[in-house]
Each structure stands twice: as structure tokens, then as C-alpha cells.
Amino acid sequence: MTEVFLKALIKGDSKVISKIYKTTFLSVQKFILQNKGNEQDSEDIFQKALLQIVVRYKREKFEITSSFEAYLFTVCKNLWRRELNSYRKRVTNTEVIELKSDYRDNSLALVEQKRQELFIEKLNEISDNCRNILTLFFAKTSYADIVENTEYNSESVVRQRVFKCKKKLTDLIKKDVRYNSLKEL
């Protein structure tokens, strides 16, 4: 079904595009409205996401392992996360923002999406225990709170565990050839 959606989308098949709007747009809009966005933002993000998927498929015929709707929702969510963070950076001026064309910016967003997929894929390859502790760690949970909410007895044990789990994760990522084009050194 995903393949059918992708091919029809590339051809600009209005019926299929309408179907995609009917099945997924409302949930994307709800997410964006609940996260500081407005209706126009949700329309822009939805269209950007569809274009991103089409451009990527044209270049590399990638495989979508979930349903098309679920994947589209994730891409929209990530593009909105990106937009909010980009706005935050512009306002706080924490980093020098270079002016880029929309085409360039959309291309960078696509590569960032691929990097996120790779990281999540690798996170799912490590043990449940490691994934659980790293999920808490990256969500900025303090070591004290991690101790309170897991089976570990002290902060130093948690620190050691986080260190080992992070090493496993980074080793897996570095070993993957796809990381070479995504690491941006």
C-alpha cells in the first residue's frame, strides 16, 4: 500500500493526495495546534513533509516499515520540532544562522530526518535495559530521579550504566556505513 501511495504521489494523483489528507491531516493539525502552531503552519508542514518523502523516494527508493500515514505523521512532527528549534535559535541568537534557500533548507531537513531514523533504529537494537536508561537520560532526567525510578542503587552506578550503554549505541551508529554521510564533521 505504501508503495502505491508513493507512486501515485509522485504522479500528482489528486484522488490519492485527497485520501492522504483525509486520513492524516487532522492528527497533524491537532499536534501542531497543541504545540504553539496555527492552521497555516500545519498546512505548510504537511505539504513540506509530502515533498520531502517524494524527493527522497525519487533518489533512493527507501523502504517505509510502518504504515504510510504513521511515517508521514512522524515526518510532520519532526519538521515542526525543527521549525520550533530554528525559531528559538533565531530569537536567542545562540548560533549564527546562515541564510539558506528553501531548496537547501528542505534538503538539510531531509538528511536530518535520515539521521534521526538511523539513531532510533540503533537505539532499538540495544537491550531493553539500556534503551530504558538512555531514554530517561536523553529526556534530561536527573541521575537522582533515574535512581528513584529504576532498579539501580546509586547515582554512580547509573552514571556507569549510562556510559556503557551510550558507548554501545555510538559504536553501533559509527559502524553503520550510512553514518558516514550523516556525521558532518
3 or 121: CB nearest other proteins: 121
Interface of this chain with other proteins, residues 142 to 181, rule: CB under 8 A: 145, 148-151, 159-160, 163, 166-167, 169-170, 173-174, 181
One-letter amino acid at 149 equals N
Q: How far apart are CA 51 and CA 10, in angstroms?
A: 9
Q: How far apart are CA 77 and CA 30, in angstroms?
A: 11
Please calculate the CA angle 125-128-130 and round it to the nearest 5 degrees.
85
38 or 160: CB nearest other proteins: 160
Is 8 among the residues that bind other proteins (CB under 8 A)? no
Is 74 among the residues that bind other proteins (CB under 8 A)? yes
Cell of 46: 504537511
DSSP secondary-structure letter at 35?
Answer: T
Is 63 among the residues that bind other proteins (CB under 8 A)? no
The correct pick among 4, 33, 108, 144 for binding other proteins (CB under 8 A) is: 108
Is 36 among the residues that bind other proteins (CB under 8 A)? no
CB 109 → other proteins: shortest distance, Å? Answer: 9
Number of residues that bind other proteins (CB under 8 A): 84
DSSP secondary-structure letter at 150?
Answer: S
Alpha-carbon distance values, 30 to 46, 48, 69, 92, 98 (Å):
12, 17, 15, 27, 31
Interface of this chain with other proteins, residues 120 to 139, rule: CB under 8 A: 120, 123-124, 128-129, 131-132, 134-136, 138-139
